[in-house]
């Protein structure tokens, strides 16, 4: 069992990673972003690689026995029960175009379970941080998943092209029809809005572990539910937030047909 003292030590260290990312972004001129495309067509900048490289060096020095899984560099230390999961910029395309909803994501998994997470929005000045047994905060103030049962809750869906890439654009359409008060996000902004109770629940589709591991740790610690819609593969489909809204989303996603929904 992980002690509260150990978790505080790990969380303090994780916050220092987020602080370093903010420093790098503050000091990097926009003219030097070095925007390019990866083989899969996604955007990458020098900020992505600089942040993850700095994080990896800090983790190697602070916790040399821990493993590393990140978006920009190969995984290492896979035999360790401790795995840091890193997304230096979630929403790189938004970042590259000056849209402030991008975030930096840090998570720690122990024996396969997400036990710590940080969702940081450097250009908005918003940081969600938490760890198992310690609760979740927004800029230092405690937050919890909303328990309100609203007749027309606000829900969030990831980009429609993610559903299409996962072969389930029909699910995107069905969810949008069933939940008419829907918001669409292409980065982690909606994850924090679920944590602070502004959004009831979210479906994130066709994403990688580093996209959702921080949210998994934070949502469960903040009193919500986090459900994988299928077996854990390289690309994942998840729903999280208020239990009754997530239950409805999961039922739709797992139904063989949607004609009677």
- The structural domains of the chain, with segments of one domain joined by +, span 4-142, 155-254
**Helix/strand/coil (H/E/C) assignment for every residue in the chain:** CCCHHHHHHHHHHHHHHHHHHHHHHHHCCHHHCCCEECCCCCEECHHHHHHHHHHHHHHHHHCCCCEEEECCCCCECCCCCEEEEEEEEECHHHHHCCCCCCEEEEEEEECCEEEEEEEEECCCCEEEEEECCCEEEECCEECCCCCCCCCCCCEEEECHHHHHHCCCHHHHHHHHHHCCCEEEECCCHHHHHHHCCCCCEEEEEEECHHHHHHHHHHHHHCCCEEEECCCCCCCEEEEEECHHHHHHHHHHHHCCCCCCC
The pLDDT value recorded for residue 258 is 41
Q: In the structure, what pLDDT confidence band is assigned to residue 31 with cuts at 50, 70 and 90?
A: low
Least Cα distance to 107 among 87, 89, 125, 90 occurs for 87
Place of tokens 């230096």: 88
**pLDDT tens, position by position, 53-75:** 999 999 999 999 999 999 999 99
**pLDDT band per the 50, 70, 90 thresholds, residue 114:** very high
Which superfamily does CATH assign the domain made up of 4-142 to? Answer: Fructose-1,6-Bisphosphatase, subunit A, domain 1 (3.30.540.10)
The overall pTM is greater than 0.85: yes
Please write the tens of the pLDDT for every residue from 146-194: 888 888 999 999 999 999 998 899 999 999 999 999 999 989 999 999 9
| CATH code for the part of the protein at 155-254 | 3.40.190.80
């Amino acid at each position: 069992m992980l002690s509260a003292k150990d978790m505080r030590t790990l969380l303090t260290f994780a916050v220092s990673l987020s602080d370093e990312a903010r420093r790098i972004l503050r000091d990097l001129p926009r003219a030097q972003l070095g925007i390019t495309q990866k083989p899969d067509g996604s955007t990458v900048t020098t900020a992505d690689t600089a942040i993850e490289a700095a994080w990896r060096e800090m983790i190697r020095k602070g916790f040399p026995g821990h493993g590393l899984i990140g978006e920009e560099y190969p995984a290492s230390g896979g035999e360790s029960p401790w795995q840091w999961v890193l997304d230096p910029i979630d929403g790189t395309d938004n970042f590259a175009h000056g849209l402030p909803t991008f975030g930096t994501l840090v998570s720690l998994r122990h024996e396969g379970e997400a036990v710590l997470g940080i969702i940081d929005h450097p250009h908005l000045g918003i940081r969600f941080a938490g760890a198992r047994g310690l609760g979740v905060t927004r800029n230092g103030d405690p937050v919890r998943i909303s328990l309100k049962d609203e007749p027309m809750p606000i829900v969030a869906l990831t980009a429609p092209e993610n559903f299409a890439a996962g072969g389930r654009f029909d699910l995107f359409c069905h969810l949008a029809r069933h939940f008419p008060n829907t918001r669409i996000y292409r980065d982690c902004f909606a994850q924090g809005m679920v944590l602070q109770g502004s959004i009831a629940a979210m479906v994130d589709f066709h994403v990688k572990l580093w996209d959702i591991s921080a949210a998994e740790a934070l949502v469960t610690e903040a009193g919500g539910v986090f459900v994988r819609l299928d077996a854990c593969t390289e690309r994942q489909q998840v729903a999280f937030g208020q239990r009754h809204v997530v239950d409805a989303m999961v039922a739709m996603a797992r139904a063989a047909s949607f004609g009677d929904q």
